[in-house]
């Protein structure tokens, strides 16, 4: 599968949802009313889209499999997100979600890479070196499986994740930012690619 950057199509970013775009909860986000964006995240996605990026989401939603909410409620959350994005010129190219619990043996639940593989099908090329922005270790691990460039934000579970991996050499050069808005600032100024040695990726 071709590397996206070699095809001259718009650049791509893959986002986790809970803890990156919206506030997370240990009790799960179960409705559109509970779905609340992290300050600056909606505007950040809008800026990416205005700069020619395609933005995809890959999100574990085991609350569906656990019976906490259904597909209707999930769609209502995503409709709310898109309505907010409409106001800032943003759009999500595709949303991949895994409804399964950790013991169901699926291929899509992160840290496995099934959702990223599906996103690659949408893109028509590989996610090689594409920034994958998450707040949990499983986000980062899923990104590595498809040779993405994992990026950690400190929102959501990000601070806890950073403490887990701080002494792990595997993640010694992991880009870490306070929030999605800061990642987007770095992407749009070129500082991100310069610091990760992926200029032009």
Q: pLDDT tens digit string along 8-56?
A: 555 999 999 999 999 999 999 999 999 999 999 999 999 999 999 999 9
| pLDDT > 80? residue 169 | yes
pTM score, whole prediction: 0.93
At 5 the pLDDT is: 60
The dihedrals phi and psi of 59, each to the nearest 5 degrees, come to: -135, 130
Q: Greater confidence, 1 or 107?
A: 107
Q: Which domains does the chain have, with CATH numbers?
A: 4-196 (3.40.50.1000)
Closest CA to 123 of 148, 153, 106, 140: 148
| pLDDT > 70? residue 194 | no
Q: Which residue has the tokens 């770095």?
A: 186
The dihedrals phi and psi of 164, each to the nearest 5 degrees, come to: -70, -35
Alpha carbons within 13 angstroms on the beta-carbon side of residue 41 total 28
How many other CB atoms sit within 10 Å of the CB of residue 42?
22
Q: Is 18 a catalytic residue?
A: yes
Q: Is 135 a catalytic residue?
A: no
- The percentage of residues in the chain with a pLDDT greater than 90, rounded to a whole number, is 88
At 199 the pLDDT is: 33
Tell me the per-residue pLDDT of 91-141, one tens digit each, with 9 for 90 and over: 999 999 999 999 999 999 999 999 999 999 999 989 999 999 999 999 999
Single out the catalytic residue among 3, 16, 139, 159. Answer: 16
Helices 137-145 and 114-123 sit at what angle, rounded to 10 degrees?
A: 50
| pLDDT > 70? residue 200 | no
Single out the catalytic residue among 18, 24, 135, 139. Answer: 18
Q: Calculate ∠ Cα 171-173-175, nearest 5°.
A: 95
At 193 the pLDDT is: 75
Alpha carbons within 13 angstroms on the beta-carbon side of residue 164 total 12
């Amino acid at each position: 599968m071709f590397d996206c950057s070699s095809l001259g199509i718009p650049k791509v970013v893959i986002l986790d949802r809970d803890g990156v775009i919206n506030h997370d909860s240990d009790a799960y986000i179960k409705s559109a009313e509970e779905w609340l964006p992290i300050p600056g995240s909606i505007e950040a996605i809008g800026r990416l889209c205005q700069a020619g990026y395609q933005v995809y989401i890959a999100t574990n939603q085991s609350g569906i499999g656990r019976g906490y909410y259904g597909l209707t409620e999930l769609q209502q959350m995503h409709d709310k997100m898109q309505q907010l994005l409409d106001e800032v010129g943003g759009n999500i190219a595709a949303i991949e979600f895994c409804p399964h619990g950790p013991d169901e043996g699926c291929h899509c639940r992160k840290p496995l890479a099934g959702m990223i593989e599906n996103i690659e099908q949408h893109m028509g090329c590989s996610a090689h070196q594409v920034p994958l922005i998450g707040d949990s270790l499983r986000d980062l691990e899923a990104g590595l499986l498809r040779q993405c460039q994992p990026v950690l934000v400190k929102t959501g579970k990000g601070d806890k994740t950073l403490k887990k991996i701080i002494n792990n050499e595997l993640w010694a050069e992991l880009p870490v930012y306070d929030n999605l808005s800061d990642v987007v600032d770095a992407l749009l100024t070129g500082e991100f690619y310069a610091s990760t040695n992926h200029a032009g990726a």
